[in-house]
Amino acid sequence: MKLFVQADDYGMTAGVTDGIVASGRDGILTQTGLFTNMPSTEYAVKRWKAEIPHVLLGQDLNLSTGRPLSDPALIPSLVQADGSFLTSRMHRQKQKEDPDHVRYEDAYLEYDNQVKRFIELVGEVPGYIGGHAFSNDVTTKALNDIIAKYGARNAMKLIPIDSKDVIRVGGWSNPKLNPDGSYDYSIMTQLEQDPLQMYIDGQLTKLEELADQDCLVMIHTHAGFLDRDLYKLSSFTGVRVMEAGFLCSQQMKDFVRDHQIELVNYSYFD
């Protein structure tokens, strides 16, 4: 097995950053995507350079969390009255009302400024580029055009959701469906979704079945630690510490060692 292990949202908050650094320094993480529009971005880059430069640093282009790097007046279809991004929930609601609510020019400008910020801080093009949370046809075109402009690896094309070449292992971060059809994604529900316990209990049988095969496998996470800022920004909270614990666990490190699994990142496709 060749195993890709990804954590999204690097730099979203200091806590998320710290959890991802731990997952790369003490665990099996192989790649992570940086947010370049957040107050913790520079902190995240400094910690990556100092502690986990072996982890491939990509970029999560973001139109729904925090504030944009562009002047909000120049990207009106992406922002609220206070200049912060429309949240992913707001975007989805607007999408129902108007499928063309996002202007291509707005998405392209903000994406371009985010990549420029990455290059300014890191000194090179992102190791890969992917999207974050909300997307539609317009934002996907803008993202693909930005990726082409900078010649970066396209995460959506390297390992698409429906890839037949790479096997995904995960699914523990989904909300519970209540009998009345509503969803439960409370903090307690998230804390119950512990991938390490699932592995110990034998529920992640696919990992064991594939361990000694010649195949490509991806574990895709939102690993991180919790802090006050995260609760203001994201519904993904408790599940992040469960995933960080999974990636840093002795059980997973033993699994990789005992089966001689090769840990890889997107540079594998070069």
Q: What is the pLDDT of residues 147-158, one digit of tens each?
A: 999 999 999 999
pLDDT range class, residue 146, cuts 50, 70, 90: very high
Contact 50, 260 (CB under 8 A): no
| Confidence bin at 124 (pLDDT 50/70/90) | very high
206-to-11, 158, 209, 212, 215 alpha-carbon distances in Å: 31, 22, 5, 11, 12
Query: Both tokens of residue 52?
Result: 């986990």
Rg of the chain over all Cα atoms, to the nearest angstrom: 18
| pLDDT at residue number 175 | 83
Average pLDDT in the chain: 95
pTM for the full predicted model: 0.95
What residue type is 10 in one-letter code?
Answer: Y
pLDDT digit string (tens) for 201-226?
Answer: 998 998 999 999 999 999 999 999 99
Kindly state the percentage of the chain with pLDDT values over 90: 83
The structure tokens 């129902």 sit at 96
Token pair, residue 100, equals: 């063309």
For residue 40, which of 61, 71, 16 has the smallest C-alpha distance?
16
- CATH code of 265's domain: 3.20.20.370
- Kindly state the percentage of the chain with pLDDT values over 70: 100
pLDDT band at 171 (very low <50, low <70, confident <90, very high): confident
- Structural domain for 119, as ranges: 2-269
Contact of 43 with 28, CB cutoff 8 Å: no
| pLDDT tens string 75-114 | 999 999 999 999 998 998 999 999 889 999 999 999 999 9
Confidence at residue 178, expressed as pLDDT on a 0 to 100 scale? 85
* Cβ–Cβ under 8 Å, residues 226 and 12: no
Rounded distance between C-alpha atoms, residue 224 and residue 190, angstroms: 13
| CB 261, CB 211: distance < 8 Å | yes
Is 255's pLDDT higher than 90?
yes
Produce one character per residue of 10-25: b if its CB has 16 or more CB atoms within 10 Å, e if not: bbbbbbbbbbbbbbbe
What's the structural domain count of the chain?
1
